[in-house]
Amino acid sequence: FEVHGLPLRIFTDNGNPWGGSQGNRWTKFRVWLLKLGVEIIHSRPYHPQSRGKNERFHRSMDEEVMSLRPLATMADAQKAFDRWRHIYNHQRPHEALDLAVPASRYRPSIRPMPRKPAEPHYADGTITRKVPATKGYISFMGRYWKVPDAFCGEYLAIRPTPNEAEFGVFFASHLITSINLTEQ
């Protein structure tokens, strides 16, 4: 992001670290992206065709790098990937681009990477709670309520809903969970 700028959104599959697997929607990585203003869009579960271009890219990488020779160390693997990436993006024409190379079509984002991700801002009078650094709980109305551990150390907003006994718990504008005062 420091070199290429921030995207507006990232289209991902549903596995970790994107927050789509096993009901664990929220991860520290996803929270970091939200603080950077990057929206995460998930593909349909168990539908690799949704991300066909990405799947094709990985197939090419497997065929042209991974299966050619064993890569003994991470450093060897990185060198092989760097060489292949340069050829893939700067030398090899692509049919989908009318035989142009990808680098000829690439434009970096105009959104710069900030020195520090922005903290969410809540309107004056908003009920806020800071999630402790080590436990995913907040205190509200004399009780403790579970929130995803990804928000440890973050401030969350608690807002009333049309249901008198229910409140939404938000990170910035993102609803992360609900509190129902009638539940034990």
Per-residue pLDDT of 131-172, as tens digits, reads 999 999 999 999 999 999 999 999 999 999 999 999 999 999
Q: pLDDT for 78-129, tens place per residue?
A: 999 999 999 999 999 999 899 999 999 999 999 999 999 999 999 999 999 9
Task: For domain 9-104, give the fold.
Answer: Nucleotidyltransferase; domain 5 (3.30.420)
Q: How confident is the model at residue 69 (pLDDT cuts 50, 70, 90)?
A: confident
Which pLDDT score, from 0 to 100, does residue 79 have? Answer: 93
Which pLDDT score, from 0 to 100, does residue 158 have? Answer: 97
Query: Measured between alpha carbons, how far is 27 from 17 in angstroms, rounded to an integer?
Result: 7
57-80: average pLDDT: 88
**CATH 3.30.420.10-classified regions of the chain:** 9-104
Query: Measured between alpha carbons, how far is 131 from 25 in angstroms, rounded to an integer?
Result: 17
Looking at per-residue pLDDT, the higher value among 149 and 17 belongs to 149
Which pLDDT score, from 0 to 100, does residue 91 have? Answer: 95
Which pLDDT score, from 0 to 100, does residue 57 have? Answer: 82
How far is the CA of 21 from the CAs of 12, 15, 29, in angstroms? 12, 5, 14
Amino acid at 181: L
Amino acid at 125: G
Check pLDDT > 80 for residue 46.
no
